[in-house]
Structure 1
Amino acid sequence: MFKLNVSNLRGDITGGLTAGIVALPLALALGVASGLGPMAGLYGAIAVGFFAALFGGTPSQISGPTGPMVVVLAGLFASLSGDASLIFTAVILAGIFQIIFGFLKVGEYIRLVPYPVISGFMSGIGAIIIILQLGRLLGHEPPGGTIGALSYLPTALADINFATLGLGIGTLIIAYKWPASLGKYVPGALAALIIGTLVSLALSVPILGQIPTGLPSIQMPVFEQGTALLILEAAFILAVLGAIDSLLTSLVADNMTRTRHDSNRELIGQGIGNTVAGLIGGIAGAGATMRTVVNIRSGGKDRISGMVHALVLLAIVLGLSPLAAQIPHAVLAGILVKVGLDIIDWSYLKRAHKGPRWDFGLMILVLALTVFVDLITAVGVGVVFAALAYVRQVAHLQLEELRKIPESLNDPEENALLESLKGKVSIFSFGGPLSFGAAADVGHHVRDNVKAGSKVMILDFTRVPTVDVSAAMAVETVTVDAIAAGRQLVICGANAAVNEVLESICVNHPGIVIYDNLHDALLYAKKKVTETPNQEVNFKAVSQS
């Protein structure tokens, strides 16, 4: 677990240096946006960046503060009236949660979150970041929270600081329009930070002010009964959000490096990084897509690159903090607006009208809940709605298969038997897993499609790998209806797993006959429909219960 690959040492050092330079302005800006200050952003970038690289499961990934994590921290900062010790406790707990997730192998399930849900909450987070920075661009310090920032916007628009606005917009333009040829040497975000700070020296705009230098002090966890539930909730949201954010970035890294990450090990690495970040007064972090892409394109492939990136930031903390004190709030706000715009899923929004309307509606719902309610509600509602929609689609397919009453069969011998019965037998062939989604309508469809003169009804489970209790109860309803109508019910083709569920619910009913295959069921049906009233059928079921 601790073995380092030095086969690409030069590329890893180059990638780590470049990623560290790119991370500097983002760490400062996200630290300020969290409410805990620029140094908290840098400490978080150092701790999460180093330990997630050392212990994580994605060798080329660069980790540090990200927009989604900062949105949660900013809300927590407002809820706790800026009590930093309690916020760092939440960060520590979030790291512990992630370590637990890793050992419980939760990473395999996080990847199952549907894309519209991911797109919706990521776009919502981007929108929140932009909303929170609008007031700062106008030269004001808005109250915490998305609703508070939006409510304050008319007041800020009535008293615009045009120097601040111009500086912020200029920073945003430089960050977007910085030439790619120069970007190889100085990344656009860093160039915007430097140029914006130099220009601000001739203006009267709010700056970060004095920033502490040197190594951080240890922040021990603090627990208060009145805030314990709030901290636990925030820690859990941070853990889940960081896990999703990191594993999405891991998928990007996999595509670029043609490798496969270890999702559960990645969660453990992220958890260790966040735990250490909270202990040294840093904000929570996760896998950062842009910084990871920069690292890989600069030659970084292994975990050494992420560790070098963190050491670069540590060197800056130890030596350049006084210079960072001159950075204006408006410059950081401009950089954060770019971060927010980059997080919004523009690629999906441009193509959404071509895809299913339900998926787009789900994405918009999750986006709105993210912005105006909270992240955990947005993701929870999104996943539940997506799951229900999937169950509905599967149920529709199951019922469509059930409606296809065969007029002929593929096997010539079986087809000859069916033809000889001349409409006196109804066959219902189920297709795929039979679950609760279709159970409610199975009885109705059988009643509506059974042939009026049929004496035998065959339920063919040959293509059914599994059934649940709801489906078995539906079969029981069909059984009762068949017996009431004077029909013989035959079940055939059920495998051991399906039989086990059916036997627990209904197949022990004396009115049911069971066969291993459709051929034998048809032979029984032929004897049944051709017998005289006083004649007994001596054909014995292969596996009759």
Structure 2
Amino acid sequence: MMRFRPRLLDSLSGYDRAQFAHDAGAGVTVGVLALPLAMAFAIASGMSPTAGIWTAIVAGLLISLLGGSRVQIGGPTGAFIPIIFGIVADYGVANLLVATLLAGIMLFAMGALRLGGMIRFIPVSVVTGFTNGIAVVIFISQIKDFLGLTIEQLPGDFFGKMGTLFNHLHTIHLPTVAVAVASLVVLVLWNMLARRVKVMARLPGPLAVLIIATAVNIVIGLPVETIGSRFGGIPQAVPDLGLPAFDLTTLGKLIAPALTIAMLGAIESLLSARVADNQIDDRHDPNQELMAQGIANMVAPIFGGFAATGAIARTATNIRSGGRTPVAGIIHALVLLAVVLALAPLAGDIPLATLSAIVVMVSIHMGEWEAFAHLKRFSLAYRTTLVGTFLITVVFDLTLAVEIGMVMASLFFIRRVSDLTRIEPIAIEGDMCGGQPDRILAFRLFGSLFFGAANKLEYLLTEVDRDPHVLILAMDKVISIDTSGLDILRTLRRNMAKRGATLIVCELNPQPRSILVRSGFVDEIGAQNLTDTLPQALARGHKLCAASNEAVEAPAPQLGR
């Protein structure tokens, strides 16, 4: 049954004034950090900065109120940039909001059906590959604003995007480049000095460079594009509520994009929550977290917002700042709301080149680049899966990359498990089988008899150079059997029956025994031919051989006159 219990309810038990002080400080810190990131991610995604801020407010509030983690901070993230940008380019902003709502429904259903734990089955090689791929895609998406290129609309596909950027390099705007580079340098230096100077550490680097660049622009009037010049500023009010109209034909086309948003949101939010667990010695509820993410993505589009998920960087900042309960996340959302209602007019002077520099820095820190340097330490399967997922993410599509990455990882896993499955002959002395070792063959099976390894049993069908009267399979080292393994066992039994031989199975573990009994295979071979130990199987084989000998040696009946 579905269990809906937000972590906030458990966190309030024993909540005191001291913890509130820590949560309040952390909430304010994360709130001011989330402001520039929300605007930068929104603009990079082809949305307005207003949409990014309201996504952070609404989704961030609901994720903290209803989530399954004590410290998770939700909102728009860099990982969504290529996904959102592609949907906006192909279907428009209105349909993006519909796709986000559909993704929210999918996320809630995943949590309600208790599928949160299944996200952990995605291999590290796939996660690292698409994370690094997304980082590269984000970096490429910022070339236009970083260089100030005159491009009306960038294509959504990789080759079209790179071709357009190359063809418009002659439109580079040097003042924009200067502001972007200066912002990047200030951001790097601020982050370096913040590790040594405690006063600087209290102000997040992205917000610091945003304040500095905006102040310089107000004083001297930089000849660069700003939020005001492109978007007309940020409204100092709550946006009009409601979803855009849509038709059923378009709705069908949005299923795949919505699934992409849902899968990426689930992966990133649960990965962020798991990282947070290690930092605060806690354990989140993945199903509750997915339901909260679903609700957040269903409600955010009503405010004009788009896809949101758990943000690793903001969650880590929350933990470092002392946040230990969802109250910190709630305060972070309220801080953003207060900033919008009080300081929105100042946002019009923010240079877009500065926001681009912030996103570039996010993309650089987002990638796990050391994974490429360490590839030679790992197996060919790991290297192929990681690099393949990375390249497909960059060149084609995240969804396709995850799908193919999972297929590659699964195939390599099947091959590995298949290699662990083997068959070894058991030497039988004459006194072990009543002096008839030539008429009894015995083999011990190891591993798992599943569809990827069922062909190993074909050896017993085609390669055995003797024609035994009894074939014994000792299966104490077999941990599992699937229907393909069962089918090859049935084929083996029929083959033995055609030769007039008997198949005996012994030493079964619980799972193999269960499937052989439930499938009726035990009835096919006869319950007397299923034994608990190898000596019992040998004794049964000796008895069968003796009965066969008696039948052969018995004198023919004499006919009466």
Partner of residue 33 from structure 1, selected from 29, 44, 65: 44
Provide the C-alpha distance between the structure 2 equivalents of 1:415 and 1:373, rounded to a whole number of angstroms.
65
Tell me what 2:355 maps to. Answer: 332
Q: Helix, strand or coil: the match of 2:247?
A: coil
Structure 1 residues 420, 282: CA separation in 2 closer, same or farther (over 3 Å shift)? same
Q: Deviations 1:105-134 (Å, cap 9, x if unpaired)? A: 121111111111111111111111111111
Higher deviation after alignment, 173-182 or 310-319: 173-182
Alpha-carbon distance change, 416 to 130 in structure 1, aligned in 2, over 3 angstroms: farther
Aligned residue number for residue 167 of structure 2? 155
Query: Which whole-Å CA distance do the structure 1 matches of 2:509 and 2:547 have between them?
Result: 30
Rounded Cα–Cα distance in structure 1 between residues aligned with 2:208 and 2:369 = 25
How far apart are residue 470 of structure 1 and its match?
0.9
Other-structure match for 2:268 = 245
CA contact (8 A) 1:423 1:453 kept: no
Q: Spell out, residue by residue over 1:188-234, the C-alpha distance to the aligned partner (whole angstroms, 9 max, x if none).
A: 11122222333444431111112211112202252223421232322
SS in 2 for 1:170: helix
Q: Structure 1, residues 69-91: CA drift from partner, whole Å, max 9, x if none?
A: 232111111112x4x33322222
SS at structure 1 position matched to 2:56: helix
Cα distance between partner residues in 2 of 1:382 and 1:165: 37
Per mean C-alpha deviation after superposition, the further-off stretch among 202-211 and 330-339 is 202-211
2:224 and 2:210 map into 1 onto residues whose CA distance is: 15
Structure 2 partner of 1:194: 211
Distance 1:328 1:167 in 2: 8
CA distance in 2, matches of 1:416, 1:313: 85
Deviations 1:296-319 (A, max 9, x none): 011001100111111111111111
- Deviation at residue 282 of structure 1 after TM alignment: 1.3
The CA distance in 2 between the partners of 1:19 and 1:419, in whole Å, is 80
Matched, 1:488 2:488: no
Q: Does residue 133 of the first structure (1) align with residue 142 of the second (2)?
A: yes
2:53 counterpart (29, 38, 42): 42
Paired residue secondary structure (2:549):
coil
Question: Residues 276-299 of structure 1: CA distance to partner in whole angstroms, max 9, x if unpaired?
Answer: 211111121111011111110110
| Counterpart check, 1:176 vs 2:188 | yes
Secondary structure of the residue aligned to 1:430 is strand
- Helix, strand or coil for the counterpart of 1:461? strand
Aligned to 1:516: 532
Query: What is the Cα-based RMSD across aligned positions, in Å?
Result: 2.5
Mapped to 1, the partners of 2:514 and 2:542 lie a distance apart of: 28
- Partner SS for 1:25: helix
In structure 1, the partner of 2:71 is 60
3-state SS, counterpart of residue 248 of structure 2: coil
Query: How far does residue 484 in structure 1 lie from its aligned partner after superposition?
Result: 4.4
Instruction: Check conservation: 2:433, 2:539, Cα contact below 8 A.
Output: no
- C-alpha distance after superposition, 1:308-335 (max 9, x if no partner): 1111111111111111111111111111
Alpha-carbon distance between aligned partners in 2 of 1:304 and 1:311, rounded to the nearest angstrom: 11
Normalising by structure 1, report the TM-score. Answer: 0.90
Q: Structure 1 342/451 Cα, relative in aligned 2: closer, same or farther at 3 Å? A: same
- Among 463, 469, 481, which residue is 1:467 paired with? 481
* Alignment counterpart, residue 436 of structure 1, candidates 437, 451, 456: 451
Is the aligned partner of 1:73 residue 2:84? Answer: yes
Contact 1:47 1:273 in 2 (8 A): yes
8 Å contact kept, 1:138–1:156: no
Instruction: Return the offset for 1:496.
Output: 6.3
- Mapped to 2, the partners of 1:419 and 1:310 lie a distance apart of 82
Conserved? CA contact 2:427–2:442, under 8 Å:
no
Distance 1:187 1:69, change over 3 A: same
Q: SS of the counterpart of 1:426?
A: strand
Find the aligned partners of 2:277 and 2:33 in 1 and give their Cα distance: 21
Answering whether residue 284 of structure 2 is matched by residue 275 of structure 1, we say: no
Cα distance in 2 between the residues matched to 1:136 and 1:380: 32
Q: Is the 8 A contact 1:85 1:219 kept in 2?
A: no
Q: Structure 2: give runs of 5+ residues left out of the alignment.
A: 1-5, 554-561
Is the 1:132–1:145 contact (alpha carbons within 8 Å) kept by the matching residues of 2?
no
Q: How many residues align?
A: 526
The equivalent position to 2:120 in structure 1, one of 107, 111, 114, is 111
Partner of 1:541: none
Does residue 204 (structure 1) correspond to residue 218 (structure 2)? The answer is no
8 Å contact kept, 1:131–1:146: no
Aligned amino acid, residue 108 of structure 1: G
SS at match of 2:239: coil
Structure-2 separation of matches of 1:516 and 1:462: 9
Contact 1:123 1:344 (8 Å CA) reproduced: yes
Name structure 1 gaps, 5 residues minimum. Answer: 409-413, 538-545
C-alpha distance in structure 1 between counterparts of 2:177 and 2:537, whole Å: 80
Change (3 A) 1:163 1:499: same
Residue 507 of structure 1, CA deviation: 4.6
CA-to-partner distance for each residue in 1:509-536, whole Å, 9 max, x for gaps? 4699332322210112234456672259
TM-score (norm. length: structure 2): 0.87
| In structure 2, distance between residues paired with 1:380 and 1:462 | 36
Contact 2:434 2:542 in 1 (8 A): no
- Aligned twin of 2:557: none
Q: Give me the whole-angstrom Cα distance separating, in 1, the residues matched to 2:70 and 2:371.
A: 28
Share of identical aligned residues, percent?
34
Tell me whether 1:502 sits opposite 2:511 in the alignment. no
Q: Give, in whole Å, the separation in 1 of the partners of 2:314 and 2:552.
A: 79
